[in-house]
Every structure is written in structure tokens, then in C-alpha cells.
Amino acid sequence: MRKKIHGKEVFYTIAWTPIVTYDRFNASRILPELPGIAEILSIEEGGHKTLMFLECWREGLRSGLKNLLEADSPVFGDIRRRLNEYDTAFRFTEVTTSPHDLKDIMYWLIQATHAPFNNVEAFTDTGRYRAINVKEIARSGEDIIERIPPHR
């Protein structure tokens, strides 16, 4: 993730991983124990449809998605039952700078996508910026990831 601030506006660039069909073994092998955002998608004829975004700060992406989608977890019971009606896939992006950046990116994604499992009216940004801008990049499976230190 990259972040640039210009006046009262913030510009984020996030890089999504390739989409992967969900199963508990794939998820535990692929997902890092780092903070970030997971996009849960339904697998449909002709493509995918966004169902929800899940922010994972304290527990990390691996535990966060496990808590959401696996039946032995007591968290998210109602949402899990509704998600079980779909064949699901996921992709993720790491956001390790701060929980405030994570919240602002989540706000932008939820507002832009209107994912049916996220409550658009109830989710707010941090109020730090007048405008939040997010550029989304899709990574391929062969990408070499270079960690770029934050610009100071």
C-alpha cells in the first residue's frame, strides 16, 4: 500500500492479490498474519460479485477470514450463515501502516462498491481528510512484491 497526502486529500494505492476460491486449507496457506482487507466474492457464471469487505487489524488476515467463514468460530454467525448460500472466493490487500488508514480505505471501498453484506450507512471514515482517493491495482500470481517504505 502506498499513501500520499496532498493538503486535506489522501491518495492510497492498494494491490489486490489474485482471486482464490475459498477453502480453509487454501486460506491458511495463502493468507498472511498481517493486517489488511479481505474482499469476499461470490463465484458466479461469467465472473465474481463482491459480497463484503472485511477489515483485519489486530487478528490479521488469516485469523480474520477464518473467524468469518469457518463454522467452528463463534464470531460472525449470522453473516456466515448468509455467506454459506454462495460459492465464495477471496482476495486481499495488506494495510500495515495504521488502523486509521485501514478504516479510511475500507470506507472508500464500501462506499464505492455497495457490497451487500457491509452496512454503507453505518460505516464512517476517520474524518482526517476532506477527500479519500483509492487506486486499486490487481496483482498477478507471478508478481514479485517489493515492500516500499512509507514516504516521509
Strands of 131-138's sheet, edge to edge? Answer: 2-6, 9-16, 131-138
Q: 12 is written with which cell numbers?
A: 492510497
Q: What pLDDT is attached to residue 141? A: 61
Q: What pLDDT is attached to residue 87? A: 92
If DSSP states are collapsed to H, E and C, what string results for the chain? CEEEEECCEEEEEEEECCCEECCHHHHHHHCCCCCEEEEEEEEECCEEEEEEEEEECCCHHHHHHHHHHCCCCCCCHHHHHHHCCCCEEEEEEECCCCHHHHHHHHHHHHHHHCCCCCCCCCCCCCCCCCEEEEEEEECCCCCCCCCCCCCC
Mean pLDDT (whole number) for 13-39: 92
- Calculate the average pLDDT of the chain: 89
pLDDT of residue 27 exceeding 90: no
What tens digit of pLDDT does each residue of 66-111 get?
989 887 777 788 888 888 899 999 999 999 999 999 999 999 999 9
Q: What pLDDT is attached to residue 37? A: 97
pLDDT of residue 2 exceeding 80: yes
pTM of the model: 0.87
Mean pLDDT (whole number) for 16-22: 93
Q: What pLDDT is attached to residue 73? A: 73
Q: What pLDDT is attached to residue 114? A: 86
What tens digit of pLDDT does each residue of 117-134 get?
999 888 999 999 999 999
Q: What pLDDT is attached to residue 152? A: 44
> Which of 98, 99, 97, 95 has the alpha carbon at shortest distance from 39?
95
What tens digit of pLDDT does each residue of 135-147 get?
999 987 655 555 4
Q: What pLDDT is attached to residue 8? A: 97
What structural domains does the chain harbor?
2-137 (3.40.1440.10)
